[in-house]
Structure 1
Amino acid sequence: MKDIIHLEPVLQEKIWGGSRLKTQFHYDILSSKTGECWGISGHANGTNVIKNGEYKGRTLRELWKEHRELFDNEHGEEFPLLVKIIDAQDDLSVQVHPDDEYAQKHEGYAYGKTECWYILDREPGAELILGHNAQTREELQQLVDAEEWDKLFRSVPVEKGDFVYVPSGTVHAIGKGIMILEIQQSSDITYRFYDYDRTDDNGNPRELHIQDSVACSMVPHQDPELDRLFWKEEGAVIERLIQERYFTVDKWDLSGKIERKNTTYLLMSVVEGSGFVKTEAHEHKLHKGDHFIIPSTVASYSLSGKMTVMVSQTTKG
């Protein structure tokens, strides 16, 4: 395959969701409680359908299983990364995700969930919960048992353009009014600490996972040190947001044309503006909200236009 893999987004309703995925990204949302767009996903809970080319109508999950040559012949049972856009009209639950070892032992799934967030938009005064104030696991358990949530959880303000790294074990919650692009391990395992006593459509309290949450949490919390690196190329300013064990994420701000030889497969999401992507096979018009993959079978490609593209890949070596 010498062309991009253009993906149909998967929309997910959430109790805390809103309608900005339609107003800002023009997706055909399910309702006014649409919380997530799974833009690049091979996960069983929501895998994208291919929109173009010889694999049109197939799913990314099928391609990963049957055509590993498109993905550097990478090993692993599951497509390794998942790229989402999240619209939090209300606060998300305070939660924590397991690491690989815990997920394999307790859930029988290959991956835990380390993730990162690029803040696309936020209402004035919006905050995240990021981390906790307990110094020992015993103190964590005591504060949870006493339901002293204000004392336990740590809130931090955010601005548009901020980048947040959330390794597994980090207590966290996306706050009301925040919209993010999330790049994560391809896992849907979430343990809830606290959910504001909300109920589901049937009036039942949403399930909490206190024992797993305490067991998985990083104690004490530590903020990761991040160095955001910038460099200029003809036609673009590129920022390396993170390079860690599971993924490498760059932000490309294009104001012209950038041409690249290709050495791997790349996940790309257009978060602002419009432009074009061109391979040996075809040229495609790109719009805000488009998600696509440049497979490793493409030898070279170019991007052009005035747009911001988030580029992620598995970290090699």
Structure 2
Amino acid sequence: MEKKLYYIEPVFESKLWGGNTLKKYFNFNTDLENIALAYHVIALPNHLDCNVKDLNIPLSEFYQRNKNELFKCDREALPVRTDSSNAVDKLSIQLHPNDEYGLKHDNMAGKVESTIVLTHDENGKKLMGHHAKTREEFKQLVEKKDWDTLFRIVDYKKGQFTHLPTGTLHGSLEVPENKESIHFTFETNSDLTYRLYDFDRNDPNRPLHVEKIIDTVNVPDNEINPLDPVIESREGYRLIKYVDEKGIFTSFQLEVSSGGIYNMDEFVFLTCVNGEGRINDYDIKLGETIFVPAKFGDLKLSGKMKLCGISYKG
């Protein structure tokens, strides 16, 4: 397989809490009623699977064909995913299980996720973790629906990001104040979510998983907080580092002001989330994603743009 750059086409999903800001912001074309989630990188066969534009094949198939040569990755399936989201209503209170539990009970791996605010970033509150000291106490508070006692609300400062290991309770308690806000999430490649509470919306497509939540929730979990990224200034751009965890993912943002050289040994997916420019001889526009093979060499960045990147170190 020729070592070149490849364009990855997104897939979209509508949700009851989703809005249409992603359509307008990224100029996405879809007949869906709304775009709650735009998956820039995802490879779940027969479920959610991006398309490799140059070859017109699913990303999951592209990975299987090239995991040794282009990805240089020994994982059975592509280990990473990214998406953008726009919420105009409350998200359920939920968590993502660990791989062992998810595979055993739902035939899908668990999920670790980190989220940044792309637009309308401001100080606010986040639901992260809970106040129960034991699993029995957690169960009792759930049975009583004593959410005020159970849920842990923390302060979020503009420019911070959230990182949620498996088993971390999270969600939203209020309708978003700014319904045009867009979030970008870096994740492990799964789509398994357990819901604890969905504000009595009683949607048959959104079942609750109370017993599974009690089984898998981290206890105790009262120390997790939003994090500050590490920012490095380089010639022509800034490198904003979020998570760099072996066996999970490496996530970052490149804020290109004029141009510069970027290089990493591992494969990487780069999604343009603001502006436009070029990567070597490839144009990249708002909403587009480019896959860069492992050991590709220097990337010449030019233009004025922001690129969200995700990679994996085994």
**Secondary structure class of the residue paired with 1:14:** coil
Give matches, 1:35-46, under 5 Å: 35-44=36-45, 45-46=47-48
**Does structure 2 conserve the Cα–Cα contact (< 8 Å) formed by 1:120 and 1:160?**
no
Q: 2:250 aligns with which of 248, 256, 266?
A: 248
Q: Provide the C-alpha distance between the structure 2 equivalents of 1:23 and 1:70, rounded to a whole number of angstroms.
A: 37
Instruction: Count residues with an aligned counterpart.
Output: 305
Q: CA deviation at 1:302?
A: 1.3
The match for 2:99 is 100
Relative to structure 1, the CA distance from residue 72 to residue 49 in structure 2 (aligned partners, 3 Å threshold; closer, same or farther) is closer
**Cα deviation code 1:146-202 (max 9, x no counterpart):** 0112221123454553311011110001563452111111111110000011133xx
Q: CA, structure 1 residues 30+127, in 2 after alignment: closer, same or farther (shift >3 Å)?
A: farther
Partner of 2:208: 208
Q: How does 1:1-317 map to 2 (within 5 A)?
A: 1-44=2-45, 45-52=47-54, 55=55, 57-109=56-108, 111-122=109-120, 127-158=125-156, 161-174=159-172, 176=176, 177=179, 178-200=181-203, 204=204, 206-221=206-221, 222-223=223-224, 226=227, 228-245=229-246, 246-278=248-280, 283-296=281-294, 298-316=296-314
Distance 1:71 1:217 in 2: 37
**Cα deviation code 1:39-95 (max 9, x no counterpart):** 01112221111123xx2x111111111122344331122110110001111111110
Secondary structure of the 1:88 match is coil
Q: What is the DSSP-based 3-state SS (H/G/I as helix, E as strand, rest coil) of the residue aligned with 1:134?
A: coil
Compared CA separation, residues 85 and 139, structure 1 to 2 (3 A): same
Distance apart, 1:145 and its partner CA:
0.3
TM-score, normalized by length of structure 2? 0.89
Q: Which has the larger strand fraction?
A: 1
* Counterpart amino acid of residue 150 in structure 2: L
- From the superposition, tell whether residues 119 and 294 of structure 1 become closer, same or farther in structure 2 (CA, over 3 Å): same
Residue 150 of structure 1: SS of its match in structure 2?
Answer: helix
More displaced stretch, 1-10 vs 124-133: 124-133
- Secondary structure of the residue aligned to 1:230 is strand
- Once residues 121 and 13 of structure 2 are traced to their aligned partners in structure 1, the CA distance between those partners, rounded to angstroms, is 22
**1:277 Cα deviation (Å)?**
0.9
CA-to-aligned-CA distance 1:84-141 (integer Å, 9 cap, x gap): 00111111111011112212332233x3111100111348786432211111111110
Contact 1:97 1:169 in 2 (8 A): yes
Per-residue CA deviations over 1:3-41 (Å, capped at 9, x if unaligned) read: 211111100011111001112111124434320001011
Q: Distance in 1 between matches of 2:153 and 2:26?
A: 28
Q: Is the 8 A contact 1:10 1:38 kept in 2?
A: yes
Letter in 2 for 1:209: H
Aligned partner of 1:191: which letter? Y
1:50–1:286 Cα change, 3 Å? same
- Tell me: CA distance 1:70–1:26, structure 2 relative to 1, closer, same or farther (3 Å): farther
Please state whether the residue corresponding to 1:34 is helix, strand or coil: coil
Change in 2 beyond 3 A, CA 1:71/1:214 = farther
Check the 8 A contact 2:277/2:303 in 1, yes or no: yes
Q: 1:130 to 1:122 in 2, by over 3 A?
A: farther
**Contact (CA 8 Å) 1:272, 1:288: kept in 2 or not?**
yes
Shift of 1:298: 2.8
State the one-letter code of the partner of 1:267. F
Determine if contact 1:16/1:33 at 8 Å carries over to the other structure.
no
TM-superposed deviation, 1:230? 2.0
Q: Structure 1 unaligned segments of length 5 or more: list them.
A: none
Unaligned runs of 5+ in 2: none
